[in-house]
A and B are shown apart, each in its own frame.
Chain A
Amino acid sequence: MKLQELTRPWAAFNYGFLDESAKREIRRRILKAIAVPGYQVPYASREVPMARGWGTGGLQVSLTILKPDAVVKVIDQGTDDSVNACSIRKFFGRVGGVIETEDTQGATIIQSRHRIPEEKLRDDQVLVLQVPDPEPLRTVQSDMPVAREMHGDADYGQLWLILYEQLVKSGRIMQYTEYPSLVNGRHVISPSPIPRWDVLKLNKADHLTILSAGREKRIYAVPPHTRVEPLVFDDVPYRVEDHQDKTCYRTNVTGFFMNELPQDDGSAKFELSDSHFGVKHMRKAEGEPVAIGDTWYKNGKMNR
């Protein structure tokens, strides 16, 4: 007798892995997060078949808003083909019966870590960002109850102070990722580990962005058409990474966020960080009829 014969045949416990009460809770938290842009809403982060820190927060949000006709794209550091991205995408296909895609234009739900796609998102698309540390004040205040009070008071002087000291010590802002940004003129968020290049894409965007931290159990959101302003001094303009004049060695495309590939001789090659955006360019160069969507950056400049 085998163990298998004694048990019932395998069936999904519930659609989209999470049980309905869990999804309902997360849905309500998301609604609250949208109602108060940038405010970190606590939620009961559930167990998912993945270790904390690998995107469990984003996964739970995506599972909650999943439906069978959803088209899901998962990005990890800009690419669709890393192990983590593939595993998460397949998981959505298995528990939700969704269509898996690598195409930004075709997706309805985009779960991402570290990047926002180069092609503009539409108002029918949702961007879910996995967040390791949602608290922008953690660097200045290790006591979280006090940090929450500081959010309540809009007491962000110390975040400015960090930028001030970076300017004093280095002559420029050294904050690379998680650039503190003021949402809707009220709450400062840490916009997950996206580079400075991508923070501008959140401002007055057409799409909804939901940020979720699984380990820290916080959801916050940037609703469509909401102001997101990186903290900057009046006389020191916001500066994105200097990738404007870098050219991708594979596609010969210039003016987008690049991955730097150090070479043996000490030089560096660059390739497009948004991998499927690069794939599209390559296909187009080979003569395939590929539609490349409108991009946020044009000629290396943010399109306003």
Chain B
Amino acid sequence: MTALNLAAATQITRQPPHLMLAEPMLTMCGISKNFGGVKALSDVDATVYPGEVLGIVGESGSGKSTLLRMMNLEDTPEAGSYHLALPGRENSNLFSLDRFERRSLRAEHIGIVYQNPHLGLLMGHTSSGNVAERLLIAGKRNFAELRERARQSLDASEFPVERMDATPRELSGGMQQRVQLAKAIALEPAVLLLDEPTTGLDVSVQALVLDTLKRLQRDHAITMVLVSHDLGVIRTMADRVMVMRRGNVVEQGLADQIFQDPQHAYTQQLVHAKL
């Protein structure tokens, strides 16, 4: 009896991590991009499984933000393919879509939170309006429904709902990030992209925002890609980590593996610099 249990247990530990058993939600293959003579990305592969958080770390200029822009279909690479496991789109390379399709796909299935709230928000419009705009772009035309869904979404990102008609300009940095987050998750995106979401916030607010992200991730099992240069953030949030340097992925693996047992010299340097 005990022996059998032990055998089952060892078998489970031998299996690949639970999250990686599913079909990947996001697959990028062989992404290469040059800016003039600068190689921003060379032959990068990335896979994200449903419900997991992939952290991307690297120094400035390592190509991590460029990769995220590709994931958000803001830019196209010179080579490579991009697939999202969306019904009806399983087999189409998203880089080959035309402008219109790309826009509607981005509006409906991809959410993004930028480091700079000015990029993601209309500063002169109300916070609820910012969330509603995303629903409007997706074709929602019922005022009562827009209002209710904006409220729900802001509530889910732990934004004080009584301030939903204040403009982001009047809000603090942490609140602005929450509005961005509410906007990003309003349509329940297939993948949520976070580009340094807590950089520039003070440590206590940063902790609160991360807390919200963590709770959202737990409650809704949202697939996330988190780009950050802050190893603390990555350690808190990420299930798996990808370390980038000069447009290459130098190492990837489970977060614990990377932090406890870094293999590549650069990763070792990075982890030790942090510790």
Which residues of chain A have a CB within 8 Å of any CB of chain B?
Answer: 153, 155, 157-158, 160-161, 164-165, 167-169, 233-236
Contacts and interface: CB of A to CB of B under 8 A. Distances in A.
B136 A164 contact: yes
B28 to A, nearest CB: 25
Contacts of B145: 235
B125 interface: yes
Contacts of A160: 133, 136, 141
Interface of B: 99-100, 103, 122, 125-126, 128-129, 132-134, 136-137, 141-147, 165
21 contacts: A153-B100, A153-B103, A155-B137, A157-B134, A157-B137, A161-B133, A164-B129, A164-B132, A164-B143, A165-B125, A165-B129, A168-B147, A168-B165, A169-B165, A233-B141, A233-B146, A234-B141, A234-B142, A235-B142, A235-B143, A235-B145
Given A165-B125, A168-B128, A168-B165, A157 B133 contact: yes
B132 A161 contact: yes
Given A157-B133, A233-B146, A235-B144, 4 more contacts: A161-B125, A169-B165, A233-B142, A233-B143
Given A161-B122, A234-B141, A235-B143, A155 B129 contact: no
A165 B166 CA distance: 11
Contacts of A165: 125-126, 129
Contacts of A236: 143
Contacts of A233: 141-143, 146
A160 B100 CA distance: 19
Which 3 pairs show the lowest CB-CB distances between chains A and B?
A: A157-B137, A233-B143, A160-B136
Nearest to B164: A168
A270 B62 CA distance: 70
Contacts, number: 47
Contacts of B143: 164, 167, 233-236
Contacts of B132: 161, 164
Given A233-B142, A235-B143, A235-B144, A157 B136 contact: yes
Contacts of B129: 161, 164-165, 168
A236 B141 CA distance: 10
Given A164-B136, A164-B143, A158 B122 contact: yes
Nearest to B165: A168
Nearest to B128: A168
Nearest to A168: B165
A159 B13 CA distance: 55
Nearest to B102: A153
Contacts of A153: 99-100, 103
A234 B100 CA distance: 25
Nearest to B167: A165
Contacts of B147: 168
Contacts of B136: 157, 160-161, 164
Contact of A164 (B99, B103, B137, B146): B146
Of residues A155, A168, A234, which shows the largest number of chain B Cβ atoms within 10 Å of its Cβ?
A168
A157 B141 CA distance: 10
Nearest to A160: B136
A27 to B, nearest CB: 32
A65 B49 CA distance: 64
Contacts of B122: 158, 161
A161 B125 CA distance: 8
B245 to A, nearest CB: 35
Nearest to B124: A140
A236 B142 CA distance: 8
B139 to A, nearest CB: 10
Contacts of A235: 142-145
Given A164-B146, A235-B143, A158 B126 contact: no
A128 to B, nearest CB: 33
A44 to B, nearest CB: 29
B16 to A, nearest CB: 42
A235 B141 CA distance: 8
A153 B147 CA distance: 25
Contacts of B134: 157
B73 to A, nearest CB: 13
Contacts of B141: 160, 233-234
A235 B99 CA distance: 31
B115 to A, nearest CB: 22
Nearest to A140: B122
A224 B205 CA distance: 59
Nearest to A231: B141
Nearest to B146: A164
A155 B125 contact: no
A121 to B, nearest CB: 31
B55 to A, nearest CB: 31
Nearest to B103: A153
A165 B133 CA distance: 10
B128 to A, nearest CB: 7
A160 B124 CA distance: 15
B100 to A, nearest CB: 7
Contacts of A168: 126, 128-129, 147, 165
B107 to A, nearest CB: 8
B206 to A, nearest CB: 30
Given A168-B128, A233-B141, A155 B133 contact: no
A158 B147 CA distance: 15
